[in-house]
Structure 1
């Protein structure tokens, strides 16, 4: 999908169960040797760790969350698991929530963290096919 300009960006965050305490270098080593391990090296840009929710959230997430409807209003049992305030319905629910941003910089889709990656892949392919079809017809 690279020829189509499709790029994946990773934004580590420690607000969900305090599961990402390390700095960027430690996170990369953890990916390579622990989870998923087996020498894994991401083929996407991994940004510095930051907040995705609450008072200190990065502006990109304020924009993305305001551009797509929430993926639900349930946070499960947040006590001791969610580390930001205030908690809002539109907040990112957990690690691995995903957004698709179009070539115009606008958010197109948002997926709950528990959505199967095959569903995300299918949605992205269908979106890219729509873009290609529009380009051909114009």
Structure 2
């Protein structure tokens, strides 16, 4: 958690191009030594690998997806890229789709995986400033 109360959570998943095939004990060493490598150690909480879409999706993702509108209406060409059934418009579209959840546990925003990180950062800063202003002046 940072001084503003923001906590980043990571949820590894192998449903997008089979890009996370490792077992639980292999994920952190792979990040550190392979991709991205160079001694990388995440500075956020990393949860166990699981499904974010389909019949076996984690309940947290069912909640998040039901709380925020979809970030797009298509999956591009899903052949040999997406590994779950059935496909639903509300599904996570690809790795690195992001959600912002408020301190009350309610989802606030959802970003497409291709959105520029500077936009995500600006949206989060704006949200945190709004929360701070509300807390100070209420």
* TM-score, normalised via structure 1 length: 0.97
Q: Which structure 2 segments of 5+ residues have no match?
A: none
SS of 1:4's partner is coil
Per the alignment, residue 96 of structure 1 pairs with 96
Deviations 1:43-64 (A, max 9, x none): 1111000000000000000000
Deviation at 1:90, TM superposition (A): 0.3
1:2 aligns with 2:26: no
Per the alignment, residue 26 of structure 2 pairs with 26
Per the alignment, residue 84 of structure 2 pairs with 84
Per the alignment, residue 15 of structure 2 pairs with 15
Deviation at 1:4, TM superposition (A): 2.2
1:82 and 1:55 mapped to 2: Cα distance? 14
1:60 and 1:23 mapped to 2: Cα distance? 21
1:25 and 1:39 mapped to 2: Cα distance? 17
Stretches (4+) displaced over 6 A: none
More divergent stretch after superposition (120-129 vs 17-26): 17-26
Per the alignment, residue 122 of structure 1 pairs with 122
